Amino acid sequence: MSSVLFVCLGNICRSPLAEAALRAEAERLRLDLVVEFAGTGNWHIGEPPDPRARAVAARHGIDISGYQARQVTRADFTRFTHIVALDHDNLSNLRRMAPPSAVAELSLLLDHVPGREGQAVADPWFGEAAGFDVTWAEVTAAASTLAARFRAR
């Protein structure tokens, strides 16, 4: 079974939204897929997603209030088939963290969206609530293409 871990820095904005988007798309397509999120940083371990992230997900009919931030572990590299970073810095950090026994395929989220390859997902943390709508649009576009990829297997 395929499994995906979405990774951003603080783990309360982009990666929980990516998890929510892929879970919703997998459910819609009836895919058996494990999806989680984590951060490379440890500032928000155990905390729920940012209120603005919860609000944008809720506007799309998804409740992420029960999600809790956690930090990436070395075990994640063998537990997941895919570890997907939301930006270049986190992808670099993941490459450094990966143990020799890693089996997870590492990628950048928007590499899975035709025409967006090499781009980072917008980080809405320091902006207004509208920035979370941009992030939601990016993660849902990627969720659609990722789910189609998993479905084709």
Q: Which of 8, 23, 50, 76 is catalytic?
A: 8
- Asked about 8 being catalytic, the answer comes back as yes
Superfamily designation of domain 3-152: Response regulator (3.40.50.2300)
- Asked about 76 being catalytic, the answer comes back as no
User: Chain-wide mean pLDDT for the chain?
Assistant: 96
**Mean pLDDT, residues 91-106:** 97
92 CB-near residues (< 8 Å, 6+ apart): none
pTM as predicted: 0.96
Tokens of 15: 């990666």
pLDDT of 16 over the 90 cut: yes
| Residue spans per domain, the chain | 3-152
- Asked about 14 being catalytic, the answer comes back as yes
**Mean pLDDT, residues 106-129:** 94
